[in-house]
């Protein structure tokens, strides 16, 4: 299995190289040149395995320079029962009317990012060895809330790595901020940026493409890598949980083997839903992928308004902050896949986005996109109504991001009449967004601190996840705030870790 950049497919690299380096030198994202197929024997094996075994099989199809034994060892460590509250790593909960919640937040940071970022440290350190890399990997992460903590948790005190996380100073929930700023570890640094997530993401990409910065780091025995979903090693593990969910649906009798499902995903950076698309290309029977956005509806407009991607629009801070994104990086990979690997086209579209803030795909490419995708959006008020309705009607407590997906799916079903059984990605614990969830249920909250967990528990009777409750009494370690224009100056912090 070989990998190429979305902007220059002439140079092929191994999976290990793509994972070690994170992003291509031209700014493009590494992609596999083909999609490996899941055979009938593979599906039979998947049905018989637990989540760890399923993930190892899927990754083995994609990361062919890793042995089956290596991947089995990594998945056993990454998805250890004590990290995910038991062997049911990513449970599927039936809500009736064809809705099935894929709960991806039972890991150590209570968000779906754990599903990949508990695995990535094993893949990255192995990739450094496989490529003969002797420099220390400096992992830069831009986060809208959940990726940062999950990456910090996965990489803290991992030999041969340093990690620095950038987050928008006013763009994450109090719980997300507390999780990041109290992170333990000798090799970690956390920096707040005055701006939004797109500012943080663009700034990090600027570091990756700044030759002077890269040369200075190299002279110090350091190299740059990434734990965002621009890194293939972060995206690949996410493919596994959609395949696993299908196996669970078959085992429960909810669908027959080979019957199609829909997948609805709340997404801002487009990585989580792209993983479902790739699963479909490998053989997961997917009828429609439903992209759910909040009020920052740039993706909804792209899918429903003729393939025009226009980031020049108002940016809204919402109750689902992990989706407060206007530059959806992984859409670049979809354009590459559906244009049959047309790297020149993708490079020109990304250049137009950088220069003009917009681009438009042609009718033929847009028709391919529409064949697989639908989309919708949901504002904060509607998300709150959805949280309350799910609690009152199903006694199911969900967070704000999941509520966006539930509403968008219900709107899709009403609009299209499509009754295909649907997997809805539930991406975070409701306790990460206590104020919004509690107020949606009709409660109130006086303070935005760890005591909010007790308030939500008292109101619902649902216990808070242990990793969040453990934050009580912790003092923040990191309080650095910089302007987005000054981000290059922060790279010097890596040398001191």
Is residue 113 annotated as a catalytic residue, yes or no? yes
Q: Which of 10, 46, 8 is nearest to 29 (CA)?
A: 8
Sheet of 188-194, strand order = 222-226, 136-142, 161-168, 188-194, 481-483
- Which one is catalytic: 52, 61, 113, 177? 113
**CB 61, CB 28: distance < 8 Å:** no
Q: What are phi and psi of 454, to 5 degrees?
A: -65, -35
How many Cβ atoms are within 10 Å of 493's Cβ, its own excluded?
Answer: 14
Cα end-to-end span (Å), the chain: 35
Q: Which are the contacts of 112, defined by CB distance < 8 A and separation ≥ 6?
A: 104, 105, 146, 238, 272, 425, 426, 427, 428
Residue keyed to tokens 């959006």: 377
**Residue 323, SS3 per DSSP:** helix
Give which of 15, 259, 234 is closest to 130, Cα–Cα.
15
How far, CA to CA in Å, does 92 sit from each of 97, 294, 325, 394, 474? 14, 24, 27, 15, 33
Q: How far apart are CA 18 and CA 13, in angstroms?
A: 7
- Residue 400 CA, chain-centre distance (Å), reads 16
| Token pair recorded at residue 36 | 């490996």
Q: Which residues make beta-bridge pairs with 130?
A: none
Longest C-alpha distance within the chain, in Å?
61
Quickly tell me which residue has 């903590």 as its tokens.
Answer: 149
Q: Which 3 state secondary structure label does DSSP give 176?
A: helix
Helices (H), 105-221: 114-117, 120-130, 146-155, 174-181, 197-208, 211-219
Q: Catalytic amino acids? A: 113
């Amino acid at each position: 299995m070989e990998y190429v950049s979305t902007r220059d497919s002439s140079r092929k690299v191994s999976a290990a190289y793509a994972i070690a380096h994170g992003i291509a030198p031209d700014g493009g994202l590494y992609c596999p040149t083909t999609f490996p197929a899941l055979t009938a024997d593979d599906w039979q094996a998947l049905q018989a395995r637990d989540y760890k075994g399923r993930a190892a099989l899927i990754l083995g199809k994609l990361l062919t320079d890793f042995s089956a034994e290596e991947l089995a060892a990594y998945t056993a460590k990454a998805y250890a029962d004590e990290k995910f509250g038991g062997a049911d790593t990513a449970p599927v909960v039936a809500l009736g009317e064809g809705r099935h919640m894929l709960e991806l937040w039972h890991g150590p940071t209570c968000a779906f990012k754990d599903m990949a970022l508990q695995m990535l440290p094993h893949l990255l350190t192995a990739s450094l060895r496989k490529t003969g890399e002797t420099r220390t990997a400096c992992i830069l992460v831009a986060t809208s809330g959940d990726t940062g903590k999950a990456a910090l948790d996965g990489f803290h005190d991992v030999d041969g790595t340093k990690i620095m996380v950038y987050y928008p100073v006013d763009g994450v929930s109090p719980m997300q901020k507390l999780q990041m700023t109290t992170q333990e570890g000798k090799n970690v640094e956390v920096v707040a940026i005055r701006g939004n997530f797109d500012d943080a993401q663009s700034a990090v990409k600027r570091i990756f493409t700044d030759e002077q910065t890269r040369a200075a780091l190299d002279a110090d025995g350091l190299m740059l890598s990434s734990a965002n979903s621009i890194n293939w090693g972060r995206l690949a593990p996410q493919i596994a949980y959609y395949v696993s969910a299908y196996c669970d649906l078959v085992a429960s009798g909810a669908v027959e083997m080979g019957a199609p499902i829909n997948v609805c995903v709340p997404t801002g950076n487009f990585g989580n839903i792209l993983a479902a698309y790739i699963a479909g290309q490998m053989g997961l029977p997917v009828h429609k992928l439903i992209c759910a956005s909040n009020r920052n509806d740039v993706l909804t407009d792209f899918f429903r308004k003729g393939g025009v991607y226009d980031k020049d629009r108002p940016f809204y801070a919402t109750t689902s902050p992990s989706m407060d994104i206007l530059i959806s990086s992984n859409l670049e990979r979809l354009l590459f896949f559906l244009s049959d690997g047309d790297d020149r086209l993708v490079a020109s579209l990304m250049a137009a986005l950088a220069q003009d803030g917009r681009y438009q795909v042609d009718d033929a490419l847009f028709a391919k996109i529409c064949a697989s995708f639908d989309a919708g959006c949901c504002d904060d008020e509607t998300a709150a109504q959805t949280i309350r309705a799910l609690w009152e009607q199903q006694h199911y407590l969900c967070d704000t991001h999941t509520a966006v997906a539930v509403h968008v799916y219900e709107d899709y079903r009403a609009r299209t009449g499509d009754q295909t059984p649907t997997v809805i990605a539930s991406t975070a614990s409701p306790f990460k967004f206590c104020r919004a969830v509690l107020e949606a249920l009709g409660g109130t909250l006086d303070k935005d601190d760890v005591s909010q967990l007790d308030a939500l528990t008292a109101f619902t009777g649902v216990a808070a996840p242990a990793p969040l409750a453990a934050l009580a009494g912790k003092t923040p370690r990191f309080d650095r705030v910089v302007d987005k224009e000054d981000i290059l100056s922060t790279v010097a912090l890596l040398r001191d870790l």
